[in-house]
Structure 1
């Protein structure tokens, strides 16, 4: 029996050191090798020890800057106090000189006046103590800056003589290579879901959040839509980091309210279901205008055919590697989930599949590589229970567990650009990494 070896894949995909895993431990019924390629997690550069050092240095510099600002304000305030007491100190100094030269000249009245003046100077003592403490802090800061300089010099020597722009271009090239490799890897079958990664806790129990799902896209914005009906307010954050911190956002006020949480951003536009209708609206963020709207013929709405959690989730819009999709159901389909692939510009339905799975029994669903995956509940203990393959018009029951950490999922969508699941879980915005199994049959025996 020959051993399966996927040597040819090494030329196609980066090395294991870059996070890619290639397995070749199985054969199919015909004796041909089955190779599995697992893509790495995104943002590999964040795992670079030099990047961690640089982030730590930036945090230290920020802390030092804040300390210097505090010192500056405190020094300015105390200096003003010293200046205000300068004349008083001169008076006291003069009277002390006179008293020391001629003790008899200090009568009871003069002694009391001198005592009063000294009492007025007593608040200056803590100010002087603070100056002593500040002087020690300045010495510590000076030493810290010296250490930072040494570390920066060491990193610069390790990284070579690249300026910032050259480094930025290298990072962009690496990211492009990663995306290119992932596209060469192509589509695969979902085999696993990671532990949840809580990005933020914000908003009400129900809502949705997302990034652009178009491939390729350099758009790093994040959008958040709180609530499941009659909402019109969309918050747009500049980056994921801004979203995490709840800063640097602008507001879009939609011309028509939304229903459900099944919204998707695709190529700079928001696709959503208009409240109390089966109309799909395409809203362009940059122009702040509706580009097109179209009725999804026969689709139920207004809690006629929602997911098990309700929430006007009759129509669920999503995107994957193959484009834009609508997941819904109709009366002629007896409440079973219907999948329609849509033309993004006109919202015309291109093709439709009846999955045979009752929508009210589904917790949530999402598309990956033309396959619809359905969860059996929105509550704790949920798992990915059903898969429908549009390329073969076939289905199977699955058993893929995932941890429903906050026990109430009201939105779950796949982002093909990042290959992660976005979820809104009981007021928490949560990510899951996914593992896709790709079978590549070799031409050998």
Structure 2
């Protein structure tokens, strides 16, 4: 027999360790130098990790908050997804309708027909007035237009599947009008300046909101070429923004494309050629606009080539009453290309300058009696400058004219209705004798009646 000495190398905290931990491999035995038995017990860290537990609790709380945030996002995305899916289904339905048959009802088709019928009615009236005669042909055409309008309304209300019927009838009417215009016995008084000036304006013809479909795009304009190239007689140009800066122009081949917002070309101004002010004009397939306070800019639609000239006396202190930065106002009429501005020398009164289109420079100029800041806008027709001003919130008037041929000035009143109070653009076009207005983001036009 030999004596066994058991040495326990333990700490005083050993007493609370469960007995099963003694048997789990934390206890080892060995023989000492004197033959005694030595037991070695390996204990874990006896200090309780309170800081780690607190850290884990904080992480757990943060994770719970993050999960709630993500859940809320999922709920929001689900709601938006339902809206988008509904819009997509409606769009798909419309696309399928277009693909299946061109005879299906489309509301815009009826609206376009109404617009063109109104234009035909105005054209017949203009033909009759310009010839100052009574003819059974005019009466017949006018009756057909009225009947066509009734058919459009009836089809839209009761029989929306028979749009092709009215399209055929409409094509027949259009052919008759074309034949009427081409007949040598019927020559409308388009662009004829033998009268004594403007006598009246029609009621405003409100087309639609701008191509951006934005009510904030209040500064801008829309126009036709006052001296169009062959093949571009029906072209429209639009450019607008929420500020009086000019960044780009949109070109439409005809009226229908304008309504459908389908441009055949978009001209984005290079940084150095961004415009200021919105009273641009289109003439000879070039767009004339104001680049800086006194710089005239010209952009050729075909070549995208830019050019500019400086009118040194043009002042940046005088703009039209409704909008700022309208320092150079371009216009094209039966007699040529014009620009209107004010100077310190003229004490804020409008100066009319005739431009040489080839040299792109001032050819001649006249000083008017109109203080620019009191005028709503101005335009040229048959070499006569007309100025407008506000009467009330819904009424504007042409109150002044200057004939550049005779130098004669006149003060009078030709009132006309405004669509809304403020407008940033007013330009006459000699090819159709219409006044084009850009009123608070809407395309508006007037038929001009000369004396």
Q: TM-score, structure 2 length as denominator? A: 0.60
Q: Which residue of 1 aligns with 2:281?
A: 264
| Structure with bigger RCO (C-alpha 8 Å, 6+ apart) | 1
Cα distance between partner residues in 2 of 1:332 and 1:17: 43
Q: Which residue of 1 aligns with 2:302?
A: 286
SS at match of 1:382: strand
Cα distance between partner residues in 1 of 2:371 and 2:126: 45
Q: Which residue of 2 aligns with 1:323?
A: 336
1:37-436 alignment, distance < 5 Å: 49=144, 170=179, 173-174=182-183, 178=187, 181-183=189-191, 186-202=194-210, 203=214, 204-214=217-227, 218-227=232-241, 228-255=243-270, 256-274=273-291, 276-290=292-306, 292-301=307-316, 304-377=317-390, 380=393, 381-436=395-450
Cα distance between partner residues in 2 of 1:431 and 1:241: 16
Cα distance between partner residues in 1 of 2:388 and 2:250: 28
CA distance 1:211–1:170, change in 2 (3 Å): same
Shift of 1:371: 1.1
- 5+ unaligned residues in a row in structure 1: which ranges? 1-13, 23-36, 39-43, 68-140, 438-445
Contact 2:124 / 2:142 at 8 angstroms: preserved in 1?
no
Count of paired positions = 313
Q: Deviations over 1:203-259 (max 9, x none)?
A: 412210101111786521111111353322111112112212323443111231111
SS at match of 1:252: strand
Contact 1:317 / 1:326 at 8 angstroms: preserved in 2?
yes
Cα distance between partner residues in 1 of 2:218 and 2:197: 31
Contact 1:378 / 1:407 at 8 angstroms: preserved in 2?
no
Cα distance between partner residues in 2 of 1:53 and 1:15: 14
Cα distance between partner residues in 1 of 2:314 and 2:218: 26
Cα distance between partner residues in 2 of 1:391 and 1:232: 36
Q: Which residue of 2 aligns with 1:73?
A: none
SS at match of 1:19: helix
SS at match of 2:413: strand
Contact 1:364 / 1:377 at 8 angstroms: preserved in 2?
no
Cα distance between partner residues in 2 of 1:404 and 1:251: 30
Q: Deviations over 1:297-316 (max 9, x none)?
A: 31123xx2101123210110
Larger radius of gyration: 2
Contact 2:127 / 2:187 at 8 angstroms: preserved in 1?
no
Contact 1:191 / 1:400 at 8 angstroms: preserved in 2?
yes
Contact 1:340 / 1:353 at 8 angstroms: preserved in 2?
yes
Contact 1:260 / 1:313 at 8 angstroms: preserved in 2?
yes
Cα distance between partner residues in 2 of 1:237 and 1:176: 32
SS at match of 1:376: strand
SS at match of 2:373: helix
Cα distance between partner residues in 2 of 1:294 and 1:339: 16
CA distance 1:209–1:174, change in 2 (3 Å): farther
SS at match of 1:271: strand
SS at match of 1:200: strand
Cα distance between partner residues in 2 of 1:236 and 1:370: 27
SS at match of 1:243: helix
Shift of 1:176: 11
Shift of 1:56: 6.7
Shift of 1:51: 11
